[in-house]
Amino acid sequence: MKSTQSAAVQRLQHNNKSGARKIACSALTALALAGGCSAWSLANAAERGASQQAPLRKHYEIAPGQLAPALNQLATATGVILTFDPQLSENRSTQGLSGEYTLKEAFDLLLMGTGLWVERLKDYTYVLRMHERSDSALEVGPTMVDALAERPGAIQSSREVHAERQDLNSVVRSIPGTYTLHSRSQPGVSVNIRGLAGLGRVNTMIDGVTQTFRNNAGHGSGGPMAFVDANLLAGVDVQRGSVDGAEGANTLGGSANFRTFDIDDIVKPDHRVGLRTTYRTGNNGYGNTRMFAAGARTRPEDVEGVYGLVAAVSSTQTGEYKTTNGQSNEYDTTKQNPRSGLLKLRLQPNDMHRLDLSGVKYRNEFYHNYPWQLDNETYRAKYAYTPYSEWVNLTVNAYQNKTELEYPPVEESHYIGRKTRDDAHGFDLTNVSRFSLGPVEASWSNGARYYTDDFVAQTPEKRGANPEGKQATHSLFSTLEFNYDIYALTLAGHYDGYKVSGHVPKCSIIGQCRGIDGGDVDITRREHSFNPRVGFAVKPYDWMQLYSSWSRTSRAPRVQEMFFEKVPLEADASDADGVGANPFLRQERSTNYEFGVNFSRAGLFSNDDYGQLKINRFISKIDGYITPQSFDILDDDGEESAKMNWVNWPEEVRMSGYELEGRYDAGFFYANLSWTKATTRSPTTSGIELEDINSQPDRFWTLDLGTRWFDERLVLGARGEYAGPSETSWDWYETKKSNSTGVIWDLYGSYRVQDNLSLFFNVENVGNKVYNNSASVDYLMSAVMDQGNGRGRTTSFGFTLEY
């Protein structure tokens, strides 16, 4: 075997340009017969010859798993020839890829912790090698799996979603500096990054499409929510702090993207079709969960280019759970029935043109202060043009998000019958150029984004504190990166603008609305801002990187904040009052500082293990923080009354903290740690029912420990979660500090019975500990519970069948 490969490699090394294609093809044939060629170059890449270069950075989605298929998939995607002895890949696995990388980065990250590396022989021919052990402590493997070290100051984390193993809120909370507003009856996910939550403060996305839904429903029950079915998710990507590119437009504190299944998640690299189905059931409120996905994809030997599609459906039925003390809450019930589906299509006629079309639909009925019937639809078209040029690597996205809400007439209440619609449309384009300035390697990304969000009250008399209006944001952005030896410098900037339009009703107290002629006027407000970022990093050793970053960010006021209406419950709900509006709101501005160090090393205690440690310090100083406040005023008759407005807080709001993320994997054993200690105090609001809780717990952490047995067919693990004291909704105009949750432990496990069949189980709160949820509105909504409202011990189990 080895002699056959060596001869083939020698022929490839010594071929001349005139005979390159002929010799390469003959070598590939010989290697294929020997079983040592992992992938073929794409047909049109071979036609272009050695004089042209592949794009220096491309997007890859390669699932974790066995090493050989992952290398096969990477080589196919890039059009390179890779040879190796099959014995090198046996019993080796990879953590996969998710993101944009150069070819070298992609190979390095796939081989992280395997003790292997690739050597480039000629043109696009590579051979897999075994690392020779060295006595030097500096001889280590490549950088971090998520390529964090490649982007100084960009604090990025990704998590795979295993819905059968972990609740989606827990997945998000396992990322440092990232939390969620917890509500037992609200299935929407409200991502909180470093004490900031809501539209513009955090850009929350599904498949890269911004989610804009909000429903001011009182008692902290509305919230800026993303509605997504965890059973259809492949992963969650979070970036904390300043965000470059299209995702950072009108973004104050970070972004979170929920990625649904793609074709490559369902169809295995060596298959043309793929199927996956999951079934789960359990006790204590767990009903039946069903998910089915199917996909198909062409292969290079079938047709030039790649064409594929994937479709998936999911349904879940849950009931009310009981606490450790046996209590349940039928008023704020957890009974739900979400149904979801997705459809994605890929059209890639060659390696220069690719079009991806996707649609995701979510529908649910639940009770959260009112009965809700909610429908969310997210659509995206993504086109990538990647000619063999260092200067052109163009991506264009167009998207739409629509959310419809109805309070169905199942009870008598003030706002039963409410119907609202939130329509959002937008597009963005980005081009990446790469070039060299002598010994300096440079990357220059430029683009633009435009996005509109139109909120319509289909039943105006039932809209309550949800004024109609439209917000449009636009942005020009540029990121210039320089890399020289061990140094990296990033210069980035956004030129952001917004326009918010709406109507201010007639004011009941004319004296309070003299600046707008007593109300009953249409208002439009515009602002622009320039938001720069400077990042610097130095990598004195292969295993260590130091970085720092300074940035400015901004966020436009929402329609609900600027045009808030005082709606008296005692009178006709249609009597909107303009005294609650504040058309003079200005945007929030934040100055941000990051300092950190990243450690990464392969071969810590054995040839096949690796470890990572990321330590970060952040400081954010926010000017003009927008918050609701109530005021005692005199009406036109001199009588005292009260009103509420959203205002720019007159003092600077400071949020700061420390974040730590660690990871160790030795194959048989793995450990993951996320730890945060921060001060994220926002101004105390006068009406917590209008502004959902932003403050995070003082500290929180997640520790995940696990082992793999029998060639990794059996996985057993334990996950501990802790959250310290946090601000909690308590009364109509009050909050209070909750106690810490203590450490809550879950157990999980899976067993791969056959290559296509896996069984799994999960035990939540295995110690049956009494606790209250942190960063929660459950105190108010669960007042009937005299002790902790957290879920008691709960067991679920099921199976996943793949083909």
CATH label of the domain that carries residue 210 = 2.40.170.20
Among candidate residues 189, 224, 373, 201, the one with its CA nearest the CA of residue 690: 224
Report how far residue 666's alpha carbon sits from residue 508's, in angstroms, rounded to the nearest whole number: 69
The number of folded domains in the chain is 2
Q: Are residues 81 and 221 in the same domain?
A: no
Domain region containing 46: 2-132
Whole-number percent of the chain with pLDDT over 90: 46
The pLDDT, as a whole number, for residue 13 is: 35
Q: Are residues 322 and 404 in the same domain?
A: yes
> For residue 669, what are its two tokens?
């054993």
The pLDDT, as a whole number, for residue 379 is: 97
Q: Are residues 103 and 164 in the same domain?
A: no
Q: What is the pTM of this model?
A: 0.81
Does 392 fall in a domain? Answer: yes
Neighbours of 765 (CB within 10 A): 21
Q: Are residues 258 and 170 in the same domain?
A: yes
Does 137 fall in a domain? Answer: no
Neighbours of 532 (CB within 10 A): 14
The pLDDT, as a whole number, for residue 530 is: 97
Does 147 fall in a domain? Answer: no
Provide CB contacts within 8 A for 425, sequence distance 6+. Answer: 399, 400, 451, 452
Does 118 fall in a domain? Answer: yes
What's at 338, amino acid-wise? Answer: P
What's at 552, amino acid-wise? Answer: R
- What does the buried/exposed string (b/e) look like for 409-429 if buried means 16 or more CB atoms within 10 Å of the residue's CB? eeeeeebeebbbebbbbbebb
Q: Which portions of the chain are predicted below pLDDT 70?
A: 1-57, 85-87, 90-91, 113, 121-124, 130-154, 217-224, 331, 566-575, 634-638, 685-693, 728-735, 777-787
Residue 25: give its domain's CATH number: 3.55.50.30
Does 404 fall in a domain? Answer: yes
Q: Are residues 160 and 124 in the same domain?
A: no
Among candidate residues 695, 648, 691, 692, the one with its CA nearest the CA of residue 676: 695
Strands (E), 649-756: 653-665, 669-679, 699-709, 714-723, 727-731, 734-737, 742-754
CA 282 to chain CA mean position, Å: 28
Does 356 fall in a domain? Answer: yes
Report how far residue 407's alpha carbon sits from residue 420's, in angstroms, rounded to the nearest whole number: 9
Q: Are residues 128 and 222 in the same domain?
A: no
277 φ/ψ angles, rounded to the nearest 5 degrees: -135, 140
CA distances from 759 to 166, 232, 395, 754 (A): 15, 18, 40, 10
Does 144 fall in a domain? Answer: no
Q: From 77, 100, 132, give the residue that closes a domain.
A: 132
State the greatest distance between any 2 C-alpha atoms of the chain, in Å, as a whole number: 100
What's at 255, amino acid-wise? Answer: S
Q: Are residues 180 and 267 in the same domain?
A: yes
The pLDDT, as a whole number, for residue 423 is: 94
The pLDDT, as a whole number, for residue 114 is: 73
Q: Are residues 103 and 170 in the same domain?
A: no
Report how far residue 19's alpha carbon sits from residue 12's, in angstroms, rounded to the nearest whole number: 10
Whether the CB-CB separation of 503 and 583 falls below 8 Å is answered with no
The pLDDT, as a whole number, for residue 778 is: 65
Whether the CB-CB separation of 463 and 418 falls below 8 Å is answered with yes
Report how far residue 359's alpha carbon sits from residue 28's, in angstroms, rounded to the nearest whole number: 40
Q: Are residues 208 and 108 in the same domain?
A: no
Report how far residue 108's alpha carbon sits from residue 102's, in angstroms, rounded to the nearest whole number: 10
CA 485 to chain CA mean position, Å: 32
Does 142 fall in a domain? Answer: no
Q: Are residues 93 and 173 in the same domain?
A: no
Report how far residue 381's alpha carbon sits from residue 232's, in angstroms, rounded to the nearest whole number: 19
Q: Are residues 370 and 429 in the same domain?
A: yes
Q: Are residues 117 and 212 in the same domain?
A: no
CA 309 to chain CA mean position, Å: 23
